[in-house]
Structure 1
């Protein structure tokens, strides 16, 4: 009975709002194709995947091995290393990125002069539109041991060259710097909009009370955009187990020397498919990635709901 009532209501809503349904239809189709249809591949994580003549023969003809692929991931230590690296990088990306995006948004709101403000915003947004392939090329030309810009400057100043591509720990700093440079400007747009919505009367009252610039930021700007910060952070946590594959692949490639600190789940899945053709192992790693990510999102959302119910996602 309840299901019938819900279906009736859905049909009524569709007839009442056909234009809205048509507007949302492309997004629904996109997610069905890219997010739901690939869920069939979850089954591969429990099989010793073997290519045969067609998809269905492969799907049902591969030997079911249960949790063997997962056992290999954990017994070999790969799962722990990949998980740790993924969490470390994404923690830096989310926390550092949020702080920098808010700071850049505040900077934009304080720039006087419309023409100058547009130029600064354009220069800040520009890196977002540069292909990651080009970013990887720029980074290599900066960090290359023999002819990189940084090492050329070090030699000119009388210092020894630094081989960044044999220093695994250095990439905990290099990769976040590149990520921030590329994404902070564009990612600050939502915070700029949130700051624009703050009433000028609050700042005028603060000026009358003798508040300085930093006091206005701490007591007016930050509290006013806190809901935006919390919601965007929670949404970012939804992909905390998913690394920025383009960033890692284009800057690091498949360097064995750097794998200790730059191997994340996404790059492992790529290598499993490309080098070893281990479809089952890659699918197992992908399923593990999604499961842990879901647990983290639900946990953090539950904590937020207890502290600030209005800011929770669900």
Structure 2
């Protein structure tokens, strides 16, 4: 039986040699850049130095993890990372879905105009966006402060007031990423069979009923998939946004300092690669557990919408 199974396996592989050939570059990329670097996980448990190398460095167990979890900033950066990323996920997905539903009802020419307008910010780097933001929020010459002054309000030193920055970061993230997310949902809507809408129209369903009874239910699996993938990265932050947009102002750390920026500063000051690796492993493990947990929750209610 074992020989027969192997024989069938190789016959199937020969028949699918074209597809396998197409998959080989992708598989090699995954192995080289995703699986081989996993050997570096051992750095998180070592007092790493370059002279002794990866396996010659002294083993310190969980000391690198203690450095992070016993620091005063551990709770703050973890809280900021979770809450800010959670707000990004909710706001961006909800508004992107609304925009996608609106685009479906427009003409092809109008859709191209709006798609280009929404998608363009996605290609801008956070360095460029940070200069635009500074032009708006500059304490002396900023456009926003001039507007506040014209309307009789006091000027604000935005780079010293941390309470405003969760909203500023949310708006910046939304502005930059809404086009990409809208395109994904819009593509999903285009994949829905038009006969559903034609049948609903014949039965007297209006646009709102077609959206709530056809579009949204048929997009549930796509929405769930995107949300699950985003939840898996909730402990990771867009370093460029949090570092450049805030100008790395220490006065804003209370609400804008996240795990990635904290590790960067710690690595820049102390050069402790072991600690940085430990925090990276912590982020990866928590992200994995979140994906598994949320997927299990989704599977409990609807098996078809779960990833695995």
Tell me the TM-score normalised to structure 2 length. 0.91
Q: 2:79 aligns with which of 76, 84, 92?
A: 84
Mind listing any 5+ residue stretches in structure 1 that lack a counterpart?
none
Judged with a 3 Å threshold, the aligned counterparts in structure 2 of structure 1 residues 129 and 162 are, in CA distance, closer, same or farther, namely same
Q: In 2, Cα distance between the equivalents of 1:258 and 1:32?
A: 39
Partner in structure 1 of residue 110 of structure 2: 116
Q: In 2, Cα distance between the equivalents of 1:271 and 1:34?
A: 25
The alignment partner of 2:278 has SS state of helix
Q: In 1, Cα distance between the equivalents of 2:84 and 2:37?
A: 26
Partner in structure 2 of residue 32 of structure 1: 31
Structure 1 range deviating more: 28-37 or 40-49: 28-37
Kindly report which structure 2 residues correspond to 1:52-201, keeping only aligned pairs within 5 A, or say none.
52=51, 57-112=52-107, 114-201=108-195
Judged with a 3 Å threshold, the aligned counterparts in structure 2 of structure 1 residues 138 and 7 are, in CA distance, closer, same or farther, namely farther
The alignment partner of 1:182 has SS state of helix
The alignment partner of 2:270 has SS state of coil
| Contact 1:127-1:181 at 8 Å conserved across structures | yes
Structure 1 range deviating more: 43-52 or 298-307: 43-52
Q: In 2, Cα distance between the equivalents of 1:46 and 1:5?
A: 46
Judged with a 3 Å threshold, the aligned counterparts in structure 2 of structure 1 residues 179 and 12 are, in CA distance, closer, same or farther, namely farther
Partner in structure 2 of residue 267 of structure 1: 261
> Cα deviations across residues 32-86 of structure 1 (Å, max 9, x unaligned)?
232222222211111222232xxxx322332211111212222224332222111
- Which of structure 1's runs of 4+ aligned residues deviate more than 6 A? 4-9
Q: In 1, Cα distance between the equivalents of 2:242 and 2:210?
A: 39
> Cα deviations across residues 161-183 of structure 1 (Å, max 9, x unaligned)?
11221122211111111111111
Tell me the TM-score normalised to structure 1 length. 0.90
Structure 1 range deviating more: 222-231 or 35-44: 35-44
Partner in structure 1 of residue 273 of structure 2: 279
| Contact 1:269-1:283 at 8 Å conserved across structures | no
Structure 1 range deviating more: 79-88 or 118-127: 79-88
> Cα deviations across residues 101-160 of structure 1 (Å, max 9, x unaligned)?
111111110113x22221111111111111221111111111111111111222233321
Structure 1 range deviating more: 202-211 or 74-83: 202-211
RMSD of equivalent CA atoms: 2.2
Q: In 2, Cα distance between the equivalents of 1:121 and 1:42?
A: 41
Q: In 2, Cα distance between the equivalents of 1:120 and 1:21?
A: 39
Mind listing any 5+ residue stretches in structure 2 that lack a counterpart?
none
Q: 2:252 aligns with which of 241, 254, 258?
A: 258
